[in-house]
Structure formats: structure tokens, C-alpha cells
Amino acid sequence: MNVGIDKISFFVPPYYVDMTDLALAREVDPNKFHIGIGQDKMAVNKKTQDIVTFAANAAKNILTDEDKKQIDMVIVGTESSIDESKASAVVLHRLLNIQPFARAFEIKEACYAGTAALQYAVSHIQNHPESKVLVVASDIAKYGLASGGEPTQGAGAVAMLVSAEPRILQLNDDSVALTQDIYDFWRPVGHDYPMVDGQLSNETYIQAFQKVWDEYRRRYKKSFADFHALTFHIPYTKMGKKALLAALENEPSEEQERILEQYEASIVYSRQIGNLYTGSLYLGLISLLENGQLNAGDQVGLFSYGSGTVAEFFSGTLVDGYQKELLKDRHQKQLTERKRLSINDYEEMFNDSLDVNVDKEYKDSLLYSIATISNTVRMYKEA
């Protein structure tokens, strides 16, 4: 039986900062952001928009009433939780009207959590082929105004429907995971922003890719030649490229060019959005499928990385007719319809945080946004 991604879509908040504007405001050469980091725009959200808002908006694009009857598990991968106890997946389950006899929970391990959720979903479907699992990776990447990580911020979610006989990507049974206890990026309880050792995180990412890739090649007797494309967790678009260049060093130049060309297709959306944390790898996958030159039967390698650290390399096979399941027009429209913020407006939005200790009504035209805070509970504007 084949198991994998049957449907996939992303949602980003309707505001962005242009990276030239940010560079000039921070008195940095804009080429550092556009070329050195590889980012052109950065998604920003209002305080009335959170991971539930993003998750519900991403999932509503892909679910039919029939899917909602068949889904018996909802998993949210996130490191931007809105509650220390209750899972956002429970709220999401209600907002989307999914049938009641389902499991709903959150998974955490930095940016790796989306992959943990996906792998869990695959195991579930292998045992229960008649069911479907909704996996959502939803996050807000915030490092602080004028911080080193500021140009690598972002916000949004990717929703995936996992099923038997999927229509987009069937996952191959061939993953290699790696766990290492390293403090490259972490967020202690009570801290609004992560602690980050930027250079250590870059080095650990590159080495983690090399380690899982070497072990994968050894175990499964594979090489770059077996893949039509590789897609990466993308904290900023230069990062995956650095890891790829290091691994491609001894490959023939035509092989390097082929793989790097597909990498460029996988970063089209991330360049305009920034880091989605748990969703970044899957935003890269959507970008690759919607902007790359691939065909049914092609093999795609996926590298997942979460600081702390857990990394995993796994692969999938593109399904016949996958192109007609993609939502390219909707995704591109979403990006072009966003509002460009001035740096003043961005800073104001950044500092305007939600206080759940104050009961209040809010106005936000976005569907699935926070409408009311009552006794610390977030009530969402619903469809």
C-alpha cells in the first residue's frame, strides 16, 4: 500500500516587509539580505492572527466534507504554542468541523515537529488505510527588532492531508534520523524570543545534513543520481544551498547544476515569506512542485532539520497526475495580494502583542482571526 501526501497548501498572513526597506532601516547593505541571506520579503502577522488562524486558513483550502468525515487524527507541529497544556489541534478540529471520533494533539521539536507529525500520520495510515490524517505545521518565527535573526523571521502554516494511495507524493520507506543534544537555538519557557547561536546553528545544520545523507547513502545504496530534486528545511534560502554545496563538492559539475537548479525552484516561495519553522520544509516542497521541472515517478529527497537538534532525510515518489492537485494559482494570488508594511508599521505591529489577561473584542477582516479574548480564551471568527 502507498501512503503519503494527498493534498497540500500553505497560508501566510496578509502583510510583509520588503528586505531592502529593512536593510536600509538597519543600516545594512541590502545585498546582505537579498544575496547573503537570500531573502526578499518577510511575512508578518497582526496580534489577532496566531498559529490556529494560520492552520485553519491553510487547512480549509484542502478539505472537503468527505475528508472531514474520514479524518480521525489532527496533528499540529509547532514551536509557537498558544497554551502550555491544551493542544491547538483541538481548537483546529472544532473550527474545521472534523468528525468527533478523532485524536488531536500537538508535537514539538523545533522545526523538526512537522516531520515528526508527518511520520506519525504515515504510521497511522499504514495500520488504518481507510482513515485520513490532517497534519499542519504552523509557526511564527520572531527573533526581536534589530536582532541578528531579524532578517530570518516569517509566519504561516502548511497543511497536508495524509492518506493511502495519495495523489501527490507517496513516501518511500527509507528514512534516516539523527538526534544530537546541542544548544544552537532554543526558547526557555517564559521567553518570547529564542536564544540563538547563529553560527553554531549554521554549522550544525550543514553537518547534520552531511551525516544523515552519508548514512542514507550507505544504508540504501543511493546517490545524488537517484534523485530528481532535493528539498530542504529553509530557515533562510542561503542555508539549504550551503549544505547542498558542501555535499555536492566532489560530484560532477552537470550533477551539481541539475540539483542546484531544482533547489532554486524549491526556494521561490520562501524567498518571499521567510522562515515558517515547522512548515519551512513543506513550503519548499510546494514551491518545488509548483515551480520546478518534475514529472510523475520522479524521486524527491527531503531534509528536515530542527534545532536542538533532530534531523531526518527521507524521500518520496511523485504520483501520476500530481500536477492537477496543486493550488499554484491560489498560492501565488495569496502572495501578490499581501500588503507591504513600512518599517514603522512593522515595528508597531511587532511590539503590539496580544494580552490574554484582558477581556476584549477585536476587529480583523481575516477569516479565522481572533475575535474575542474572554477569561484568557481566544475565540476565533469562524467560517
Residues catalogued as catalytic? 79, 111, 233
Nearest CB to ligand HMG, comparing residues 31 and 180: 31
CA distance 332 to 10: 11
**Which triple of cell numbers denotes residue 360?**
476584549
Question: What is the rounded CA–CA span in Å between residue 341 and residue 348?
Answer: 10
21 annotated as ligand-binding: no
Contact 54, 34 (CB under 8 A): no
Alpha-helical runs (H) found in 267-381: 268-273, 280-291, 328-336, 343-351
Exactly one of 29, 226, 261, 382 binds ligand HMG (CB under 6 A); which one? Answer: 29
Q: How far is the CB of 201 from ligand HMG (least distance, A)?
A: 3
The alpha carbon of residue 49 and the mean position of all alpha carbons in its chain are separated, in whole angstroms, by 17
In this structure, the dihedral spanned by the alpha carbons of residues 110, 111, 112 and 113, taken in order and rounded to 10 degrees, is 70
Residue 333 corresponds to which cell in the numbers above? 494570488
Q: How far apart are CA 362 and CA 379, in angstroms?
A: 10
Nearer to ligand HMG, 166 or 306 (CB): 306
- To ligand HMG, the closest distance from the beta carbon of 145 in angstroms equals 14
Size of interface with ligand HMG, in residues (CB under 6 A):
29
Placement of cell 559539475 in the chain: 253
Does 111 engage in binding with ligand HMG (CB under 6 A)? yes
Using rule CB under 6 A, residue 239 touches ligand HMG: yes
Q: For residue 176, is it left (φ>0), alpha (ψ between -120 and 50) or beta?
A: beta
- Quick one: 208 or 370, whose CB is closer to ligand HMG? 208
Using CB under 6 A as the binding rule, whether residue 11 contacts ligand HMG is answered as no
Q: Which residue is nearest to ligand HMG (CB)?
A: 36
246 touches ligand HMG (CB under 6 A) = no
Contact 323/254 with Cβ under 8 angstroms?
no
Does residue 263 bind ligand HMG (CB under 6 A)? no
* Residue 276 touching ligand HMG (CB under 6 A): no
How many whole angstroms separate alpha carbon 39 and alpha carbon 27? Answer: 17
Beta bridge partners of 106: 76
Q: Residue 196 interacts with ligand HMG (CB under 6 A)?
A: yes
Query: Binding of ligand HMG at residue 154 (CB under 6 A)?
Result: no
State which of positions 69-88 bind ligand HMG (CB under 6 A).
79
Q: Single out the segment in contact with ligand HMG by CB under 6 A; choices: 69-77, 91-99, 201-209, 215-223.
A: 201-209
Question: In terms of CB distance, is 63 or 281 closer to ligand HMG?
Answer: 281
Q: Are strands 185-186 and 377-380 parallel, antiparallel or unpaired?
A: unpaired
Q: Toward ligand HMG, which CB reaches closer, 35 or 225? A: 35
31 DSSP 8-state letter:
H
Q: Does 36 bind ligand HMG (CB under 6 A)?
A: yes
Region of 278 (left: φ > 0; alpha: ψ -120 to 50; beta: rest) is: alpha
User: Min. distance of Cβ 33 from ligand HMG in angstroms?
Assistant: 8
Residues that bind ligand HMG in the complex, under the rule CB under 6 A = 29, 31-32, 35-37, 79, 110-111, 148-149, 151-152, 184-185, 196, 198, 201-202, 205, 233, 235-236, 239, 275, 277, 305-307
Show binding-site residues for substrate: 148
Show binding-site residues: 29, 143, 148, 242, 275
